Amino acid sequence: MSHPTTMRRVAAIAAASLVAVALSLPAAQAGSRHHTLRSEAPRDLEVGSAVWGQRDLLGYDRRPPTQFQRILGAEFSSLTPENDMKWAEVHPEPDVYDFSGADAVMAFAKANRQEVRGHTLLWHSQNPQWVIDASATWTCEDARDVLEEHIRTVVGRYAGEIYEWDVANEIFQDEWDTGGVMLRTEANPFLKACAEDPVALIGDAFRWTHEADPEAVLFLNDYNAEGINTKTDAYYALAQELLADGVPLSGFGAQGHLSLQYGFDESMQANFERFAALGLKVAVTEADVRMPLDANGEPTAEQIALQAERYDAMLQACVNVAACTSFTVWGFDDARSWVPGVFPEGYATIMTEDFVKKPAYDALLETLTDATPGRAPRTPPGHHHHH
């Protein structure tokens, strides 16, 4: 019979080798180029992240890339300029355009073989001071002229290089706003000037965008627009009206800004299906899942698990609807998330500020991996990716 210490030593060595094997597995997977969100996604689904070019991509030609840039290029097949194409940044004065941030996003995307979602052309927020001031006395004709010139200039500059544009963003109020769900003819300076027929202005915004870039898929985009509710009913009616009038509307986007303080609307897939039945593409355009944190700014294990479930539920709704063309997270790391600056919440993205992948990331990766065989290619004839 073996001596007990020998048995213990053999057991210890066996245990140590098991630990070594276990430790080497994640490292091997992390070192492999084959397991990223973009590599596992179905061919017909772009996986994107928002990025603020002015902050994080200027001077990208310098080698080597930052850790942030390396992950942005490796994990995502699509980019959305988080701020760089919004009015205040791209059109700061009546006759001045600043394309530096937007150009940086385009250059990075080209270098990393990524698509770009344009964002955004008609919105009530983040407008430059000159628009806010001038719009006080605008006629509808004035508003139309300013909007058309802006759209033709910005969209025209990147024509053929942007696969989807959020043309009209957040144009409906919420149920809890004064007046309830209705077009934002107070907060949106363009719709306010054209309050007598705001739908005509919205339709023309799509027409001008389509003329400037006939290839781009043109979206309506909003928050609180995931499931079937009063707001998405209003969008559904508007979409039917625009399509009946021959407007080149071709997409509906649900932003997907969720908070664990509220429930998740299980009708998201059904909502996507009804817009798809109108012939529109659909997309999750700005996904993040924020939460209230404890005094140390830490989430609970329960919150972390629920966050992963919510991210995954949004991706599932997209994967299950053939018309869903893109799933975009609104930034991928907590250090750059817009959330803490706006809400008393945090931990909203799929990686920590040190780029540690959260269970939410793992859930997305697994669903994308499982989804690949189930989705038929549905790139429309004549559409080609600009790589």
Within a domain: residue 96?
yes
**Rounded to whole angstroms, how far apart are CA atoms 84 and 102?**
5
Within a domain: residue 3?
no
Quick one: tokens of 9?
A: 């030593």
Contact 81, 103 (CB under 8 A): no
Within a domain: residue 15?
no
**Rounded to whole angstroms, how far apart are CA atoms 175 and 234?**
11
CATH code for the domain in which residue 335 is found: 3.20.20.80
Within a domain: residue 386?
no
SS3 156: helix
Output the pLDDT for position 312. 98
SS3 50: strand
What DSSP state is assigned to residue 374?
A: G
* Contact residues for 332 (Cβ-Cβ < 8 A; gap 6+): 49, 71, 72, 75, 76, 349, 350, 351
Total number of domains in the chain: 1
What DSSP state is assigned to residue 356?
A: P
Within a domain: residue 5?
no
Within a domain: residue 17?
no
* Contact residues for 136 (Cβ-Cβ < 8 A; gap 6+): none
Within a domain: residue 124?
yes
SS3 29: helix
Instruction: Report yes or no on whether pTM surpasses 0.75.
Output: yes
Output the tens digit of pLDDT for each of the chain's 387 residues.
Answer: 545 444 444 444 444 444 444 444 444 444 445 699 999 999 999 999 999 999 999 988 668 899 999 999 999 999 999 999 999 999 999 999 999 999 999 999 999 999 999 999 999 999 999 999 999 999 999 999 999 999 999 999 999 999 999 999 999 999 999 999 999 999 999 999 999 999 999 999 999 999 999 999 999 999 999 999 999 999 999 999 999 999 999 999 999 999 999 999 999 999 999 999 999 999 999 999 999 999 999 999 999 999 999 999 999 999 999 999 999 999 999 999 999 999 999 999 999 999 999 999 999 999 999 986 555 433 333 343 433
Domain residue limits at 173: 36-374
Quick one: tokens of 112?
A: 């990393």
Determine the angle formed by the axes of helices 268-277 and 230-244, rounding to 10 degrees.
10
Catalytic annotation, residues: 170, 286
Within a domain: residue 102?
yes
